[in-house]
Amino acid sequence: MQFGPGPITPAVRAILMACGAVFLLTLLWPGALYLLGVSPQAVIEDFAVWQPATYIFVHADVMHLIFNMLGIWMFGVELERRWGTPEFTRFFFVCGVVAGLGTVAVSLLPVDAIWRTRAYAGVTVGASGAFYGIAYAWARAFPHRTVLMFFVFPVPARWFVTILVAMDFAVAASSRLTSGVAHVAHFAGLLAAYFYLNGGMGSGPRGLVAEVKYRYLRWKMNQLRKKFDVHEGGKKPPGPWVH
């Protein structure tokens, strides 16, 4: 039994430092929260295309920052050791950015509802979407590890993520997206992790990329075969050579 995954890894350290620095920036300059947080209205009307990436490093308050950083540290370090720093960094940003884009997409749904209007004009911040993706990937890699949920109840890793998602869904359904928590970003980050890890041949983090490369290579080989005639080899009477 131990607390935490051991020595911190480079990417996780950089994420923690970046989030801490941006949090201090928002304390000194509150306007940074609206500049760096993702607002669908700003993305669509003001072309603030950087926001689906920068919002990951912005947090609303100290507890929001602490819980996200604690989760990324606890689950991200072992993933980075297993995958390597470049692959883990790529995975972190894929989950985080997709979570931000999911928030933007939901705010554009053609429905006349208060929650959609609030989502469109509101600002979403935090690394929770990326954390959900990391938690899913960690539970997938170490399904039988035991986690003390709420620091009290021991549960297997796979059930920890299941309970976490179920609780989030229950809160989202009861609040109808008006609780001030970006539930859509959480689910979008989780789905991004699922498709990223299950999208190709095998279960590695490069599965989706490998599948695309494989399909492209097969198509290219089929196109090349059409340009050649195939002849049987072996010894034959003298004649022209065919390649």
Has residue 131 been placed in a domain? yes
The pLDDT value given to residue 224? 76
Has residue 224 been placed in a domain? no
Has residue 228 been placed in a domain? no
Has residue 69 been placed in a domain? yes
The pLDDT value given to residue 228? 65
DSSP string, the chain: --SS-SSPPHHHHHHHHHHHHHHHHHHH-THHHHHHSB-HHHHHHS--TTHHHHGGG--SSHHHHHHHHHHHHHHHHHHHHHH-HHHHHHHHHHHHHHHHHHHHHHHTSS---HHHHHHHHS-B--SHHHHHHHHHHHHHHSTT-EEEETTTEEEEHHHHHHHHHHHHHHHHHHHTT-SSS-HHHHHHHHHHHHHHHHSSSSSSTTHHHHHHHHHHHHHHHHHHHTT------S--SS-----
Has residue 233 been placed in a domain? no
Has residue 72 been placed in a domain? yes
* pLDDT tens, residue order, the chain (243 aa): 555 677 899 999 999 999 999 999 999 998 999 999 999 999 998 899 999 999 999 998 899 899 899 989 989 999 999 999 999 999 999 999 999 999 898 888 877 767 677 778 888 898 989 999 999 999 888 888 877 776 677 888 777 888 877 877 776 666 554 445 577 888 889 899 998 988 643 445 555 556 566 667 777 787 777 666 555 555 555 555 544
* CATH code, 215: 1.20.1540.10
Q: What are all long-range contacts of 62-68, with beta carbons under 8 Å and residues at least 24 apart?
A: 62/23, 64/125, 64/126, 65/19, 65/20, 65/23, 68/19, 68/126, 68/127, 68/128, 68/131
Domain count, the chain: 1
pTM of the model: 0.76
Has residue 243 been placed in a domain? no
- The phi-psi region of residue 182 (left if phi > 0; otherwise alpha if psi is between -120 and 50; otherwise beta) is beta
Has residue 238 been placed in a domain? no
In terms of residue numbers, what domain contains 66? 10-219
The pLDDT value given to residue 203? 46
